[in-house]
Structure 1
Amino acid sequence: MATYPLRVVEKSIEAEDAASLYFDVPQDLKGAFSYRPGQFLTVETENEGEAIARQYSLSSTPGTHQRLRITVKKIEGGVVSPWLVDRASEGDLIEVQIPRGRFFKDINEPTHVVMLAAGSGIAPILSIGRWLLENDAGHKVTLVYGNRTPDTVILADEVENVAEKFADRCVVQHIMSRANGNWDGERGRIDREFVTKHFPEWDDRSDDLPMIFYMCGPEGFMDAAESALQQFGVPLKSIHRESFDMILEDDGDEPGLEVLGADSPGELGATTKIVAVVGGEEYEADWAEGEDILAALLRVDADVPFSCQEGTCSSCISKLTEGNIAVRPGVLQTLRQEDLDEGLTLACLSQPKSKSIRIDFDEI
Structure 2
Amino acid sequence: MMLMGATPTPLPLDELKPWNSSRQMLVCTGVADEAPDVKTFTFAVEGGGWFRYQPGQFITVELRAKGGDLHRTYTISSSPSRPYAISITVKAQPNSVGTRWMFDNVKPGSRVRAYGPSGHFTLGRDLGRKFLFVSAGSGVTPMMSMLRWLADCAPGTDVVFVNSARRPEEIIFREELELLATRMPNLKLAFLPEHRSGAAPWAGLMGRIDMRKLEMLAPDFLKRDIFCCGPDPFMKLVSDMVRGEGYDMNRYHQESFGAAAVTDIAQKPANDDGEASVRDETALDVAFVGTGEIASCQPGQTILQGARSVGVRIPAACESGLCGTCKVKKRAGEVAMSHNGGISDAEIAEGYVLACCSRPLSRVEIEA
Considering the TM-score relative to the shorter chain, is it more than 0.5? yes
Question: Structure 1 90/326 Cα, relative in aligned 2: closer, same or farther at 3 Å?
Answer: closer
Q: Is the contact between residue 328 and residue 354 of structure 2 (CA under 8 Å) also seen in structure 1?
A: yes
Question: Structure 1 57/250 Cα, relative in aligned 2: closer, same or farther at 3 Å?
Answer: closer
Question: Structure 1 248/80 Cα, relative in aligned 2: closer, same or farther at 3 Å?
Answer: same
Q: For residue 195 of structure 2, what is the aligned residue in structure 1?
A: 178
Alpha-carbon distance in structure 1 between the residues aligned to 2:312 and 2:82: 35
Which of these residues, 144, 154, 162, is aligned with residue 172 of structure 2?
Answer: 154
For the pair 1:101 / 2:119, whether they are aligned, the reply is yes
Question: Structure 1 214/291 Cα, relative in aligned 2: closer, same or farther at 3 Å?
Answer: same
Question: Structure 1 301/142 Cα, relative in aligned 2: closer, same or farther at 3 Å?
Answer: farther
1:329-344 correspondence to structure 2 within 5 Å:
331=340, 335=341
Q: For residue 243 of structure 1, what is the aligned residue in structure 2?
A: 256
Letter in 1 for 2:98: V
Deviations 1:280-308 (A, max 9, x none): xxx99886421235445666777755213
Alpha-carbon distance in structure 2 between the residues aligned to 1:225 and 1:305: 34
Deviations 1:203-227 (A, max 9, x none): 4xx5xxxx22111111110011011
Report deviation, 1:187. Answer: 0.7
For the pair 1:62 / 2:80, whether they are aligned, the reply is yes
SS of structure 2 residue aligned to 1:121: helix
Alpha-carbon distance in structure 2 between the residues aligned to 1:174 and 1:86: 30
Q: Is the contact between residue 133 and residue 161 of structure 2 (CA under 8 Å) also seen in structure 1?
A: yes
Alpha-carbon distance in structure 2 between the residues aligned to 1:194 and 1:50: 46
Q: Is the contact between residue 27 and residue 109 of structure 2 (CA under 8 Å) also seen in structure 1?
A: yes
Question: Structure 1 220/313 Cα, relative in aligned 2: closer, same or farther at 3 Å?
Answer: farther
Alpha-carbon distance in structure 1 between the residues aligned to 2:363 and 2:210: 45
Question: Structure 1 304/86 Cα, relative in aligned 2: closer, same or farther at 3 Å?
Answer: closer
1:211-250 correspondence to structure 2 within 5 Å:
211-243=224-256, 246=258, 248=260
Which of these residues, 79, 82, 86, is aligned with residue 97 of structure 2?
Answer: 79
Which of these residues, 14, 24, 40, is aligned with residue 34 of structure 2?
Answer: 14
Report deviation, 1:114. Answer: 1.0
Alpha-carbon distance in structure 2 between the residues aligned to 1:249 and 1:78: 19
Report deviation, 1:180. Answer: 4.1
Alpha-carbon distance in structure 1 between the residues aligned to 2:335 and 2:147: 36
Report deviation, 1:9. Answer: 1.6
Alpha-carbon distance in structure 2 between the residues aligned to 1:113 and 1:89: 36
Q: Is the contact between residue 264 and residue 301 of structure 2 (CA under 8 Å) also seen in structure 1?
A: no
For the pair 1:39 / 2:47, whether they are aligned, the reply is no
Q: For residue 348 of structure 1, what is the aligned residue in structure 2?
A: 356
Letter in 2 for 1:189: R
Report deviation, 1:342. Answer: 11
Letter in 1 for 2:249: L
Q: For residue 189 of structure 1, what is the aligned residue in structure 2?
A: 208
Q: Any unmatched runs of 5+ in structure 1?
A: 254-269, 277-282
Aligned residues: 323
Alpha-carbon distance in structure 1 between the residues aligned to 2:52 and 2:127: 24
Q: For residue 154 of structure 2, what is the aligned residue in structure 1?
A: 136
Report deviation, 1:228. Answer: 1.0
Which of these residues, 120, 133, 144, is aligned with residue 115 of structure 1?
Answer: 133
Alpha-carbon distance in structure 1 between the residues aligned to 2:246 and 2:310: 47
Deviations 1:176-199 (A, max 9, x none): 101248412111123566446655
Q: Any unmatched runs of 5+ in structure 2?
A: 1-20, 266-281
My pick for the range that moved more, 112-121 or 95-104, is 95-104
Q: Is the contact between residue 195 and residue 229 of structure 1 (CA under 8 Å) also seen in structure 2?
A: no
Report deviation, 1:146. Answer: 0.9
Alpha-carbon distance in structure 1 between the residues aligned to 2:366 and 2:134: 33
Report deviation, 1:130. Answer: 2.3
Report deviation, 1:237. Answer: 2.9
Alpha-carbon distance in structure 2 between the residues aligned to 1:311 and 1:319: 15
Report deviation, 1:72. Answer: 1.2
Q: Is the contact between residue 262 and residue 319 of structure 2 (CA under 8 Å) also seen in structure 1?
A: no
Alpha-carbon distance in structure 2 between the residues aligned to 1:49 and 1:3: 24
Q: Is the contact between residue 118 and residue 145 of structure 1 (CA under 8 Å) also seen in structure 2?
A: yes
